[in-house]
Homo-oligomer: A and B are copies of this chain.
Amino acid sequence: MAKTLGFVGMGIMGLPMSLNLLRAGFQITVFNRTAERCQDAAEAGATVAPTPRALAEASDIIFLMLTGPEAVDMVVFGPDGAAQALTPSMTVVNMSTVSPGYTRKLASRIEATGARFVDAPVSGSKKPAEDGTLVILAGGEETDIAELQPMFDVMGKRTVHCGPASHGAAMKMSINLLLGTMMAGLAEMLHFGGKNGLDVDTMLDVVMSGPLANGLFQLKEPMLRTNEFPTQFPAKHMAKDLKFVVDTAYESGASAPCAHQVLQLFSKAVAQGLSEEDFAAVAKIF
């Protein structure tokens, strides 16, 4: 008999991901703390649960796509939380971006109920979520991930098995460290060159025609040329993710000089009111 799915979190990522699952024929129950955000999924065929607990009672596999650890704690362990309905036949899949340390604690609390746990944060933001072309960074048991593969194949173009639970989160942190550093490096370069008389367009031409050119810069190039930063991935989320990186570096004894530096730049962007702009707006703070 087909597994029934639950999907918690109908935000900028969770909604298109759940719509892709619905389109692929999966049965889904959805929950969102702000209930009206469930509307689109409901119209596409999803059942709306009144509480995470109710969602858990109706599901074999529960996907979480939330804004961070506080939100995960709330829907799993809060009043009427999903944890109250977990059983050994169920699997919880956390796709939210959280730290490896948090993931290990979450895994052990969920496994204490008998349920299985997989962590599966994603690389890619709004557009790939809509197109089903995310990269899924999975951490957990081989067999559990194999069971989830059909759903991952609908939401993403590729699944990387990174190791046991929490290694998905570790990979996500690692990618974000590089992502933030490359973006900040480009922003600093444009500032530095500008102070030395170069214009932004010539600099971007040189970068984009050489070995440093890449998909990220291509995506942000129009923003940097026009100094307009419509949000693909908001600066506040980059700041938050880099804070997770710094926390994780501290916990794991990793040296992280670039991450510390770049966190400060994105924190400054947030302090200067750029929270909701795309994270490429870090170029404005220099």
Contacts and interface: CB of A to CB of B under 8 A. Distances in A.
A255 B271 contact: yes
A219 interface: yes
B192 A245 contact: yes
A148 interface: no
9 contacts: A167-B196, A170-B196, A175-B207, A177-B188, A192-B248, A192-B252, A212-B215, A214-B214, A246-B246
A160 B202 contact: yes
Interface stretch (A11-19, A71-79, A222-230, A259-267): A259-267
Contact of A256 (B124, B181, B188, B213): B188
Contacts of A184: 181, 258
Nearest to A175: B206
Interface residue tally on A, bucketed by range: 35 or more
Interface string A184-199: 1110111111111110
Nearest to A257: B261
Given A170-B196, A253-B267, 19 more contacts: A123-B206, A160-B206, A167-B196, A171-B202, A171-B206, A174-B193, A174-B196, A175-B206, A177-B185, A177-B189, A196-B254, A211-B216, A211-B219, A212-B216, A246-B246, A258-B261, A258-B262, A260-B263, A260-B264
A192 B271 contact: no
Contacts of A173: 192-193, 196
Nearest to A178: B189
A76 to B, nearest CB: 19
Contacts of A186: 178
